[in-house]
Amino acid sequence: MLNEKLQQAISEQINAEFYSAYLYLSMAAYLEDINLPGFAHWMRIQYDEEVIHTLKFFDFLIARGGRVVLKGIDAPPAEFDSVLHVFEATLQHEQHVTSLINKLYKLAKEEGDYPTEVLLQWFITEQVEEEKNAGDAVQQLRMIGDFGPGLLTMDREMAARPAAAPPAASPA
């Protein structure tokens, strides 16, 4: 069974993961509104991945005898200055999530909770990928600019991103 500190911290992370999903869905709506369905698709896949991450934490907490306490989710921004701004905000948000995962890992280590450490190692690896994907998009968008054929080509490429894998079965 998890101690109270870790139970509360994981519940807070569940809330943070839900916010991430909500943020990416808002970004997808913005990108649809400016007629870039490929970029919107990419963000919807981000949304799906964040829901999967949320459920990983949710199921883990329950499997360890903890109780999930859900809190309200803040409204994400709905307007952005450009596609580049969307992806810069994505990169910044993923860096923030990485810091949250790192703090959670540090707590698990301090508490000597090995199962939580193992779970968080998966998330640490995942965050490296998340930051790389967002960072690559930012670099490409800076090269091609806000308008023109390069943006439309990249939009088509983003549409090819495969769907997120469904969540693994509950460890319970």
Q: How many domains does the chain have?
A: 1
DSSP assignment of 35-85 equals: T-HHHHHHHHHHHHHHHHHHHHHHHHHHHTT--------PPPP---S-HHH
- Residue 166 counted as domain residue: no
pTM of the model: 0.90
- Residue 131 counted as domain residue: yes
Q: CA gyration radius for the chain?
A: 17
pLDDT in tens, 54-69: 999 999 999 999 999 9
Q: Extract the residue ranges of the chain whose pLDDT is less than 70.
A: 166-172
By residue range, what is the domain housing residue 25? Answer: 4-158
- Whether residue 164 contacts residue 49, with contact meaning beta carbons closer than 8 Å, is answered with yes
- Residue 169 counted as domain residue: no
